[in-house]
Amino acid sequence: MTEIQENIKTLLSKTDAEMARTAQKLEGEFASLRTGRANPAMLDKIRVSCYGTQTPLKQIASVSIPEARTFEIKPWDPSLLLEIEKALQQSDLGIPPANDGKLIRLNLPSLTEERRRDLVKLARKMAEEYRIALRNLRRETLEKLKKCERQKEISEDDLEKQEQLVQKLTDGYSQKIDHILKAKEQEITTV
């Protein structure tokens, strides 16, 4: 294999890895999107003032889900209970924490039909942003391939083959995003 072919192979594998990370990132974003069920990922963005630094909640407390719509948050250091409660009140969750002196409970209210529709719209918007990110990756890769062709490093036929491979990658990850979106919409609309 020539150096040029090796560079193109590396370029395609990097593009594949970037597209895979993009799809995984969407799954992570969707995990933190509030549906009707408790999901520990919903609390991933919560930061608590702990000994003078902002610390992620999951690093200072255990989070359990005893029921489908209930979180139980038990700090490893009981002195942090009030700080955790304060962080939860200030968060964008919109769920009032219930502190019993040993642990904090969060009871998710059931979603209204209107809220479900809004969440589906939000999920679709997020998915479209990630599809745009995929298309941008495709565009960048194609530009690099065309530059190789202009510099006579690869032939027009090779360029066309590589463009088809890049398009196939993009289509595959776009379908994956569609599947992730469909699963999230189903999760949101299930009562």
Q: What is the pLDDT along the chain (191 residues), one digit of tens a residue?
A: 578 788 888 989 999 999 999 999 999 888 877 666 777 878 888 898 888 889 898 899 998 888 888 889 999 988 889 899 999 888 877 788 888 888 999 888 777 888 888 889 999 999 999 999 999 999 999 999 999 888 888 888 888 999 999 999 999 999 999 999 999 998 888 76
pLDDT for position 133:
95
The sign of the torsion formed by the CA atoms of 174, 179, 182, 187 equals negative
Residue 79 DSSP one-character state: G
The domain spans of the chain are: 3-32+112-189, 40-107
**C-alpha to C-alpha distances, 105 to 63, 81, 95, 96, 171, nearest whole angstrom:** 10, 11, 10, 9, 43
Fold match between domain 3-32+112-189 and domain 40-107: no
Enter the pTM of the model: 0.71
Q: What CATH number was assigned to the domain covering residues 3-32+112-189?
A: 1.10.132.20
Reference 126, options 59, 181, 164; nearest CA is 181
What's the confidence (pLDDT) of residue 121? Answer: 92
Sheet hosting strand 70-75, strand order edge to edge: 61-67, 70-75, 104-107, 98-99
State the pLDDT at residue 191.
64
**Residue 44 pLDDT:** 82
Distances (CA, A) of 185 to 81, 125, 178, 188, 190: 35, 12, 10, 5, 8
Fold that domain 40-107 belongs to in CATH = Gyrase A; domain 2 (3.30.1360)
